[in-house]
């Protein structure tokens, strides 16, 4: 059974800082690893999807890495902005689409 | 392209009452998912449909929860009877292929008193 853990549970940083969010998973037979963003009272928005054969994915100021052997993924956010404030969730995916989510990291970027 | 639609957005009921949630996925998306997200936790998959067939319902409390997707398009999730611990946000998601990224609706926030 896949279990996903995210550290830290909450993070507060000043605007402009580079930051790293961590995600660990127990089952290395992961099909893909996905990062989502959730704004208060809203659904989830997909940020990055890394296939098991890939090491990293980039989109704008976001970079996500995947290390299956150690059971870890990181989300790197460069030059953080107040608009980046949200809850960030990682999820391990199976080949048939089932996602197992971590509990999320609440990010606050203050001006 | 319209996103995943869900209704109602909010629902307050008393324990032992029944409630139903509706989801309309993005047009052309064959796979539909229902998740339960309790406050402070990540979403937990309740049931996954491929067209109108069930792929995974291993975490659905079948004594009180039921879901259907009769025509392979929109879907309904029902709770009967509701318990206090069912208070959560119920999220619907869809994708064209189960291996692609999932698109989420805004969710239905349920409060059971």
The 10s digit of each residue's pLDDT in A30-66 is 999 999 999 988 889 999 999 999 999 999 999 999 9
Say yes or no: A31 contacts chain B, CB-CB below 8 A: yes
Scan for tokens 């956010």, then name that residue.
A77
- For residue B18, the model assigns a pLDDT of 98
B103 Cα to chain A: minimum distance (Å): 7
> Between B100 and B83, where is the model more confident?
B83
Instruction: Tell me if residue A17 falls in helix, strand or coil.
Output: coil
| Strand bridging mode A105-110 / A10-14 | parallel
Query: 3-class SS at A84?
Result: helix
Which residues of chain B lie closer than 8 angstroms to A64, CB-CB?
none
Distance, in Å, from the CA atom of B15 to the CA atom of B85, rounded to the nearest integer, reads: 9
Tell how far CA A104 is from the center of its chain. 8
Kind and range of the H or E element at B66?
Answer: strand B65-68
Question: Å from A78 to nearest chain B CA?
Answer: 23
- As beta bridge partners, residue A73 has A23, A66
The fraction of chain B above a pLDDT of 70, given in percent, is 99
**pLDDT tens profile B5-48:** 999 999 999 999 999 999 999 999 999 999 999 999 999 999 99
B78 touches B18 (CB < 8 A): yes
% of residues, chain B, pLDDT over 90? 90
Q: Is the pLDDT of residue A102 over 90?
A: yes
DSSP string, A30-70: -SEEEEEEE-TTS-EEEEEEEETT-SEEEETTEEEEEETTT
DSSP state of A83: G
Distance CA B107, CA B101 (A): 17
List the single range of A21-25, B52-56, B83-87 with lowest mean pLDDT.
B52-56
Mean pLDDT value across chain B: 95
The pLDDT-based confidence of A18 (bands split at 50, 70, 90) is very high
| CA max distance for chain B | 39
Residue A13 contacts B where some CB pair is shorter than 8 Å: no
Torsion of CA B26, B29, B31, B35, to 10 degrees: -10
Is the per-residue pLDDT at B1 higher than 80? no
CB contact under 8 A, B43 and A4: no
Q: Which residue of B has its CA nearest to A2?
A: B44
pLDDT at B2: 82
Output the pLDDT for position B105. 96
N-terminal to C-terminal alpha carbon distance within chain A: 41
Distance of alpha carbon B39 from alpha carbon B37, whole angstroms: 6
User: Where residue B71 falls among pLDDT bands split at 50, 70, 90?
Assistant: confident
B60 touches chain A (CB under 8 A): no
Report d(CA B54, CA B62) in Å as an integer: 13
The shortest CB-CB distance from B43 to any of A95, A97, A101 is to A101
Cβ contact, residue pair B45, A42, below 8 Å: no
Does residue B51 sit at the A interface (CB-CB below 8 Å)? no
- Cα–Cα distance, B113 to B13 (Å, whole number): 6
């Amino acid at each position: 059974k896949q279990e996903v853990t995210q550290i830290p549970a909450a993070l507060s940083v000043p605007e402009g800082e580079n930051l790293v969010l961590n995600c660990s998973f127990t089952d290395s037979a992961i099909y893909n690893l996905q990062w989502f963003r959730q704004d208060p009272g809203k659904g989830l928005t997909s940020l990055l999807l890394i296939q098991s054969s890939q090491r990293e994915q980039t989109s704008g100021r976001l970079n996500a890495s995947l290390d299956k052997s150690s059971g870890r993924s990181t989300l790197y956010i460069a030059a953080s902005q107040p608009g980046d404030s949200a809850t960030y969730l990682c999820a391990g995916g199976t080949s048939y689409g089932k996602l197992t989510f971590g509990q999320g990291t609440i990010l606050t970027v203050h001006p | 392209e319209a996103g995943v639609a869900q209704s109602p957005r909010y629902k307050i009921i008393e324990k032992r009452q029944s409630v139903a949630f509706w989801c309309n996925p993005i047009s052309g998306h064959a796979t539909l998912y229902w998740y339960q997200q309790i406050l402070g936790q990540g979403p937990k998959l309740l049931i996954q449909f491929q067209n109108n067939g069930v792929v995974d319902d291993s975490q659905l409390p079948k004594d009180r929860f039921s879901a259907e997707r009769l025509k392979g398009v929109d879907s309904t999730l029902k709770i009967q009877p509701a318990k206090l611990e069912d208070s959560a946000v119920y999220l619907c998601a869809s994708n064209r292929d189960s291996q692609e990224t999932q698109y989420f609706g805004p969710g239905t926030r349920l409060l059971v008193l």
